Amino acid sequence: MIDVFNYLIVFFLTVLGVSALGLAAGFSPVLYIAQITMGTKSKRLKLYTGWLIAGVLAAIILLIALFQTLHLDTLITIVDTTVRAVTVSVLFNIFVGLAFIYGGFWYLRHQEVSKPKSPKLRKTGGSLTVLGLGFVRTFTSISGITATYIAGNAIANVSVSLIERLLFTALFLVATIVPFIAIVILMRKKPHQLMRAVAYIRRQMTQLNYRPVVGVGAILFGSSITVINIMMFLFY
């Protein structure tokens, strides 16, 4: 009875954590503004939203598949020796940590804030442009990569079966696209309130410089990943 209760607590906390990380992974004011702007300039809101979601999901699926495949527990079942699995996992995580550090310093060097723009659909390829926008913005987002990295490792650690891992991963993916679906609903029901919110977000994005905070956070996160994995490699 106690084991079942503990399992339910862990399961419930994992659902909450994975859902929150999914929202963080897909969070992008630039993509939200682009989606809303395209909806006001075109009658194909659902079509463009579908392509935008496809781009976001493609980036997230690629990232989470990479992080879960190169997780130590997964590698141990694939690679022939534990030592080699640890080596591959450690080297990959050190690379990820160094990438975060590099990204953090890049943010600190490029602190100018630019006004978010929407893609010019007719001139640049329509639906494929929206797909590319969703993929690139998500795949290169520090917040998106961080949330996906944490979620991928958490899911791999918590899951005791393949079915459980697939369910948590599906929940994570669904959470990433919830805001885009909510925007479609609000565009139909409360477009004026949504446009006022967009105008407010645009002003905040041009007035507030978030890059130093993101840069320092990425450097600290990357440094912790690098140090932990170096220690693991030395003392495993």
pLDDT band at 2 (very low <50, low <70, confident <90, very high): low
Number of domains in the chain: 1
Q: Which domain holds residue 25?
A: 2-235
**Tens of pLDDT, residues 19-67:** 999 999 988 888 888 888 877 766 677 888 899 999 999 999 999 998 8
- Per-residue pLDDT averaged across 83-87, rounded? 83
pLDDT at residue 118 greater than cutoff 60: no
pLDDT at 170: 94
pLDDT at residue 212 greater than cutoff 90: no
3-state SS string over the chain? Answer: CHHHHHHHHHHHHHHHHHHHHHHHHHCCHHHHHHHHHHHHHCCCHHHHHHHHHHHHHHHHHHHHHHHHHCCHHHHHHHCCCHHHHHHHHHHHHHHHHHHHHHHHHHHHHCCCCCCCCCCCHHHHCCHHHHHHHHHHHHHCCHHHHHHHHHHHHHHHHHCCCHHHHHHHHHHHHHHHHHHHHHHHHHHHHCHHHHHHHHHHHHHHHHHCCCHHHHHHHHHHHHHHHHHHHHHHHHHC
Identify which has the larger pLDDT, 114 or 235: 235
- Per-residue pLDDT averaged across 204-231, rounded? 84
> Looking at the chain, how many residues does it have?
236
Identify which has the larger pLDDT, 169 or 5: 169
**Angle at CA of residue 16, ends 12 and 19, nearest 5°:** 135
What does pTM read for this prediction?
0.82
pLDDT at 64: 92
Which of 60-64, 115-119, 208-212 has the highest mean predicted lDDT (pLDDT)?
A: 60-64
